[in-house]
Amino acid sequence: MFMKLNLASSTTTKRLCILKKTIDDVAAKIDRREKLFHSTVWRTPSCHLSNRMLLKILLGFLCGVGASAAENDTAQQGPPPLLLVSFDGFRADYLQRFPMPNLKLLYSQGVLVEQLTNVFITKTFPNHYSLVTGLYAESHGILASNMYDPVSHKHFHIGNDTDPMWWNEAQPIWVTALDSGYKTAAMMWPGSEVTFRNRTATHFLPYNSRVTFQERLGNVTNWMLGDGKEQGAMFAALYWEEPDRSGHMFGPDNTTAMSKALKEVDDNVGLLISELKRTGLWGRINILVTSDHGMAQCSADRLIRLDDCLHPNNYTLVDLTPVAALIPKNDPEAVFALLKQCNTHMTAYLKKAIPDRLHYRNNERIQQIILIADEGWTIVQRGNKLPRLGDHGYDNSLSSMHPFLAATGPSFRKNYQISSLQSVDIYPLMCHLLSVPPQPNNGTLNQARCLLTAETCWNVPLMISLVVGVLLVLTTITVLFRLLSHRRPSGPRPFQRLQVDDDDDDDPLLE
């Protein structure tokens, strides 16, 4: 699809340039005619001149923009390798609240998307799989941290997640890129140790929290460099579990604790930059630094107790907070009615009524009733114990749930920012950067292409329509002006036309 877009763009550029040349030629001919018949022209020549000039300027500009993009396309011999890094639970506004000098250095030499609208539910596994598939959770099938599959009757929990059955509804990019002849790598990214139709990334290591960031990074750079005999990985994904762990433990409002956690994250970004420079990869590869979700402050004063509303014998609990998934045991409508009025800070939905905007309905693993807590509220079954001071999973329209995206490398603009992007758009962007045909996905390249140096944000069909529109308006004005001028009562016309034709041998009156 993207090759077609590039081709279309290149063809449009050529057509614009041909059109401009044609107009230049025609304009030159008209100039010659006007010089010849200058004495007969009593209309306003400056009007035609300005129309033509405007059109030439517009077409010249479009031709120049397109030619520049085409030159950049052809100048590049094969795509640069791509490194995708996720710092789990990096809430977008941490960038404003904390210094982060290394991360700011990285995106000052590239681009920043201030907020990514991630997918519902705003949990780690659904969002990490969305980043590498471009799909909403209902489409890739990793719907929560705890799932029940009614077909296989299997249960999914973090820590018991490597059964390929759960992951095989969507093909991750580290498998897709293999089909383009690339080596790929995934370091502890959720789902990367699971086989997808008997395939994994060329290189991967299963999750192990005791492996330091530096050790993970060292492996990734070795995989990207290759060893002389084996080609380096063209795509690599690297996962790190902070600042999510500190966010849960202390809550995002604990400035002292989060400052320390984010200083460590920024130090790791510094390690990333220095290791890429040491190995010669810096400046040669494209780097995306992002996250899966944000974090909200929770409180023991904001608990929703399910036991206050109905007895637990009435349902089977699949997942609890901040999005609970329940299977009612008896009368689903009666259970739903009790849950619906359980707490003003919790919204209950029957599966069929889950709002379209959440893209969280069309999958068998979504249970018959889901409950969504308001921001900062925690669902428990009973008691007064708050499980975590910070949590995520809430509605993905909340800015506290949004992560960010920073990127740098030869394909990206320098010192450029946009305010928002959909996280499902990152997958088509990565496929474009790698020249890999994307799998069907929920994303689009329309907005993400603005981040790239070789692309223009201009909508070429719109610009062509604009030029044609301006041309039509100018032509209409000119025609109207001429018609009105012809109807204008006038005195005796000068007879220059007869003077020009004085030596016309065909004039019978002169015979």
- Distance in angstroms (rounded) separating the CA atoms of residues 214 and 280: 17
Number of H helices, E strands in the chain: 15, 18
* Residues found near Zn ion in the complex (CB under 5 A): 88-89, 124, 244, 292
Of 45 and 387, nearer to Zn ion (C-beta) is: 387
Contacts of 294 (CB under 8 A, 6+ apart): 89, 90, 91, 92, 93, 122, 252, 392, 398, 399, 400, 401, 402, 403
Of 182 and 250, nearer to Zn ion (C-beta) is: 250
Q: How far is CA 83 from the centre of its chain?
A: 16
Residues annotated as part of the active site: 124
Give the pair of three-digit tokens for residue 192: 């990367």
- Distance in angstroms (rounded) separating the CA atoms of residues 308 and 39: 97
Contact between 392 and 350 (Cβ < 8 Å) = no
- To Zn ion, the closest distance from the beta carbon of 402 in angstroms equals 13
- To Zn ion, the closest distance from the beta carbon of 123 in angstroms equals 7
Contact between 227 and 366 (Cβ < 8 Å) = no
Cα four-point dihedral sign 149, 150, 152, 155: positive
Of 403 and 438, nearer to Zn ion (C-beta) is: 403
Of 125 and 336, nearer to Zn ion (C-beta) is: 125
Give the pair of three-digit tokens for residue 292: 């899966």
Of 80 and 89, nearer to Zn ion (C-beta) is: 89
Contact between 485 and 43 (Cβ < 8 Å) = yes
Contact between 232 and 226 (Cβ < 8 Å) = yes
- Name the residue whose CB lies closest to Zn ion: 124
- To Zn ion, the closest distance from the beta carbon of 127 in angstroms equals 7
- To Zn ion, the closest distance from the beta carbon of 129 in angstroms equals 12
- To Zn ion, the closest distance from the beta carbon of 215 in angstroms equals 21
